[in-house]
Amino acid sequence: MDRIRIVGGNELHGVIPISGAKNAALPLMIASLLTDDTLTLENVPHLADVEQLIRILGNHGADISVNGRRERQGESYARTIHFTSRNIVSTTAPYELVSKMRASFWVIGPLLAREGKARVSLPGGCAIGTRPVDLFIEGLAALGANIEIDGGYVNATAPEGGLVGGRYVFPKVSVGATHVLMMAATLANGTTVIGNAAREPEVADLAKCLNAMGARISGAGTGTITIEGVRSLSGARHRVLPDRIETGTYAMAVAMTGGDVILEDTDASLLETALEAIRRTGAEISATNSGIRIVRNGAGIKPVDIVTDPFPGFPTDLQAQFMGLMTKSSGVSHITETIFENRFMHVQELARLGAKISLSGQTAKVEGVSRLKGAPVMATDLRASVSLVIAALAAEGETMVSRVYHLDRGFERLEEKLTRCGAHVERVSD
């Protein structure tokens, strides 16, 4: 099993290309099930979760081909993938596939809308919280679906003639359920209104793609989304938006180590709240023609309090990384997690590097220390794993991060990108 070895102490200088967003690519790929034409997606990152979803879509009959790689410095940092779901050969998403990645449950929306039925395994628990599917079920029921849960599977059927437009107000914001309900409503009869919808850029990106396919969606990116159903969707070509979580992660890495890095092919407007928090720590952030420039000149890291919230608030997917940054602040900071109930599992691993963190409910108190020291640590989930990398970059000596398959789910070529900016990071295969 691979591990990542990091020797801390180096500033970061150079250019880091930002990949396409995993959180946008996954729902876009699933949207290909809505049409029998070809959906072409550009700027798709090469990640374990993307590869797993390719296998899942293939199970339903999608034909998938990869080409048009964009070369940079002799290596590929983006892919163009063509998805053609001319014939749906199965409307069942089995447990052995869904259990490996929660987002695969989202196929229930397109399958139900296009085929009138879907049998999808319940995804089960998750390391960072239960994340139940009740909002998905209630939303689809508002479109007329009949849904039963039996033997660990959600069995959904549309009324004769297909799904019907309806109104559903989410009792709490859910990005995944917003994706699913929006996709299902594109082929429903009549108009659907989604209230308290997720406002994340990835939701707006999906709507942009669906509209290019012939859907009639307005309001995506706001709290109210309106979808006028159409009889069918066509193919389209769409470019996946930049990964705002990867952008924020590398910005925090520079704020942690010091240095001067340009993050290419990204957009500051996708994560303004997070960038403002990083600025308050003492880093300088400015827009460039190609992306964002992050500079920290060696001054101390100022403590900053944050509270995670749905977009446009501070992203929960950057909470662990920001905690890694705060471990070396010049004072005390407080980090409150409001989205997931178990998203502080990285605390004990950061403590192995010398961090001083205490928990009270959903708030972590981080007392900055003057030095961190390398140690063996273990990744517990995707975002927690990269928080350990950020801390290790500023720690004295060697840190060995195990279970890096978590990193491979969401960060494309992390060790290569950091090494090109002067970090000592390498993958070690046992």
Report the distance separating Cα 121 and Cα 105, nearest Å. 7
Contact 143, 182 (CB under 8 A): no
Q: In what order do the strands lie in the sheet with 38-44?
A: 63-72, 75-84, 38-44, 236-239
403 in a labelled binding site: no
Backbone torsions φ then ψ of 8, nearest 5 degrees: -80, 170
Q: Which residue stretches of 186-331 are H helix?
A: 201-212, 244-257, 272-280, 319-326
Cα 143 to Cα 109: distance, rounded to the nearest angstrom: 11
Answer yes or no: is 317 a known binding residue.
yes
Selecting among 51, 87, 89, 126, the annotated active-site residue is: 126
* Residue 37 marked as a ligand binder: no
Q: Is 339 assigned a ligand-binding role in the annotation?
A: yes
Q: Dihedrals φ, ψ of 355, to 5°? A: -70, 150
386 marked among binding-site residues: no
Give the whole-angstrom CA distance, residue 163 versus residue 381: 37
Token pair in block for residue 315:
């992203």
Query: Active-site residue 421, yes or no?
Result: no
Closest to 260 measured CA to CA, from 290, 295, 234: 295
| Annotated binding-site residue? 428 | no
131 is in an annotated binding site: yes
Is residue 44 a known part of a binding site? no
- Structure tokens that stand for 345 in this block: 């599992």
Q: Tell whether residue 133 is among the known ligand binding residues.
A: yes
* Cα–Cα dist 226/161, whole Å: 21
- Say how far apart CA 349 and CA 135 lie, in whole Å: 33
Is 175 annotated to bind ligand?
yes
Which residue type sits at 160? Answer: E
* 398 bridge partner residues: 7
342 is in an annotated binding site: no
Is position 134 annotated in a ligand binding site?
yes
What is the three-class DSSP state of 153?
strand
First-last CA distance in the chain = 6
DSSP assigned state of 220: B
Positions marked catalytic = 126
Query: Residue ranges for the binding site for UDP-N-acetyl-alpha-D-glucosamine?
Result: 102, 131-135, 172-175, 317, 339
**Residues annotated in the binding site for phosphoenolpyruvate, as ranges?**
22-23
Task: List binding-site positions.
Answer: 22-23, 102, 131-135, 172-175, 317, 339
